[in-house]
Amino acid sequence: MTLLLPQPAKGNGDNLIFRFIDIEKLDSQMENAPRSAFSETYILLLAAKGSCILMADKQRYALERDRCLLISPGMLIEYEQNGSESLEGYSIQFEALSEHARNEQERIFQISPHVFSCGVDLPKHYFPELHRLASLLWDSHSVPKELRKHSDMISFYKLVYLLMDIELPEQEQENDTHYAILRTIQEMERRYAEPLTRDKLAAIACMSPWHYSHVFKAVTGLSPHSYLSKIRILQSKVLLRKGMRTSEAARRVGYGDDSHFRRKFREAVGVSPSVFAAGRHERIATVSYHYAAHLMALDIIPYAAPVDRQREYHRSQYHDLISVHLLRGKVMPANFWRHNMQSLAEAKPELILCDDIIPPEIDEQLRKIAPTFVVPWMSNHWRDQFRQIASIIGQEKAAEHWMAQYEYKAGEARKVIQRSIGDETVTLLHVMLGKLIIYGRRNGGAVLYDDLGLRPPCDTLNIPVFRTLSMLDLAPLHDTGHLLLVIDKDQESLQAWERLQQNTEWTTIRAVQKGRVYIIEETPWLEYSPYAHELVIEQAQQLLGNKQN
């Protein structure tokens, strides 16, 4: 069921399509709702009876009799039943799609999360008409489709038109209590180290101190003092992980009294600051596959991380120890991201690690779940990434100890391999998606050419990560002395490998003629992490350390 409407608010001539998805009774919807989840669609909640507390993007709303809430796509929603009386009413799920592109043959639409200007908590006087339309929609949707005679479509269209008409005046939006409270929360997050009193915060909200406290608790579920304390404790945990002394961390987050800070920290976290700082198994999540291995190198088990048992045998001993498995793939489709965000929302990690190439909307959702730390991917060397991650979780000394052992191991392996193969070139190739690619000084190449000092077949400084080679022109590989080859298991790559072996240019490569082609696994060789690189050193020494020139 779809409805096409003009979209004048955009001012660009685009159109909107509204698509009805489902309607449920509120009691069954609440019963099946996860404790914490991201909304993927618009959800209109209409309560005729009962009550519950709903948190939408950390803002507190009371869903109670004669109230209606509109949830937008991407909002982090948390439900909390309030009282013994169950909710009665309706939950209506629908999508808004805006026109993204068009040509003579087709029009392309995408999900539009910012269509309505009415906010989350809709004016109470709209409830009777919205509830009446929802009742008609429920009645017509409950009969067999062939008997509806479009009555459900008519009710849905009227409901959407009504929602489009609900718009708070600009001045009313500015003075709305939720906006006022949000301004003070933003000040808390920015100035938590300062002595922010209730009077100062109330002045920012343009309210009396008593009224401000009352409204703040109604919106957030906490008093202003408790909310500020929550922010300070959260920030202190970051500092303590970095190895900062308890007294200094207390001062940095706004506690002048060290003993008061220790007492508040124990109340909030359950352990003293010193015990917390010594802990090595916090609920740390990473949405970057490679950064999970940085934690493993520090003997820290990720609480949540991407896992693919079929592709990462080298991490198999950790798989059952990771509490929350996230999906991963060579390409990350939208359904993978949806699964991962929902899993993290339910898991509630203490902090999240990610790289800087995730989609902006994913970064926004991550920050709603927990403090999120972005570690640059392409611009940083793996050693810099390792040290940055260690600094975030307060394990700098452990990281430097690991690095010292790694450098020693690499130096010893370098001597063995160079005695074995001299200055012969070593090439790292990969047959992937039917194509032949050569790696430069990243991934496995970082170990081969930088840490082990082996000679590359060409100027690898001009290859940021990898470069595609033509299977009809293999001249750059002609003098390769040793060839390390990864072959993906998909049909396209296996067929490409068969064709490559029949290529006359392939058979003239020096490494092929001398039987020095080594079939290796994608992992750990193509992974860019300290944990994988240590394994690559061991395997490279096994493959190349006992050859005769």
Identity of the amino acid at 94: F
List the pLDDT tens digit at each of the 549 positions of the chain: 555 554 444 433 357 888 899 999 887 656 666 678 899 899 999 999 888 888 888 788 888 889 999 999 989 998 776 655 678 899 999 998 887 777 777 777 777 777 787 778 888 888 999 999 999 999 887 777 666 666 678 888 889 988 888 865 544 444 467 778 888 888 888 889 998 889 889 888 888 888 889 888 877 778 999 999 988 988 888 788 777 889 999 999 999 888 899 999 988 887 788 877 776 556 899 999 999 999 999 988 899 999 998 888 889 888 888 999 999 987 888 899 999 999 999 999 989 999 999 998 899 899 889 889 999 999 999 999 999 999 888 888 899 999 999 999 999 999 999 999 999 999 999 999 889 999 988 888 999 999 999 998 877 767 878 888 887 778 888 889 999 999 998 899 999 999 999 988 899 999 999 999 999 999 999 999 999 999 999 999 999 988 665
Omega cis (within 30) before 524: yes
Distance CA 510, CA 440 (A): 20
SS3 content of the chain, % helix, strand, coil (to 5): 45, 20, 30
Nearest CA to 331 out of 243, 433, 400, 407 is that of: 433
CA angle 329-496-310, nearest 5°? 30
CA angle 126-28-82, nearest 5°? 70
pLDDT at 235: 86
pLDDT at 426: 94
**Residue-wise pLDDT tens digits, 431-477:** 998 899 999 888 889 999 999 999 988 777 678 788 888 877 788 88
Q: Is 68 helix (H, G, I), strand (E, B) or coil?
A: strand
Distance CA 228, CA 198 (A): 10
Task: Dig out the tokens for 162 from the structure.
Answer: 């009504």
pLDDT at 52: 84
Strands 351-354 and 372-374: parallel
pTM > 0.75: yes or no: no
DSSP state letter for 254:
T
Given a contact cutoff of 8 angstroms between Cβ atoms, the answer to whether 87 and 53 are in contact is: no
Residue 94, H or E segment: strand 88-102
Domains along the chain? 2-167 (2.60.120), 173-278 (1.10.10.60), 284-394 (3.40.50.1980), 413-544 (3.40.50.1980)
Task: Dig out the tokens for 140 from the structure.
Answer: 């017509």
Q: Is 484 helix (H, G, I), strand (E, B) or coil?
A: strand
Strand order in the sheet with 59-64: 36-38, 76-81, 51-56, 59-64
Nearest CA to 361 out of 128, 53, 40 is that of: 40
Distance CA 29, CA 19 (A): 19
> How many CB atoms are closer than 10 A to CB 461?
10
Strands 324-326 and 67-71: unpaired
Given a contact cutoff of 8 angstroms between Cβ atoms, the answer to whether 242 and 261 are in contact is: no
Identity of the amino acid at 306: P
Residue 507, H or E segment: helix 504-507
pLDDT at 404: 96
Identity of the amino acid at 505: E
pLDDT at 509: 92
Given a contact cutoff of 8 angstroms between Cβ atoms, the answer to whether 396 and 458 are in contact is: no
Question: CB under 8 Å to 311, separation ≥6 — which residues?
Answer: 522, 523
Helix axes 396-421, 530-544, angle to 10 degrees: 20
Identity of the amino acid at 7: Q
Q: Is 11 exposed, middle or buried (0-12, 13-18, 19+ CB in 10 A)?
A: exposed
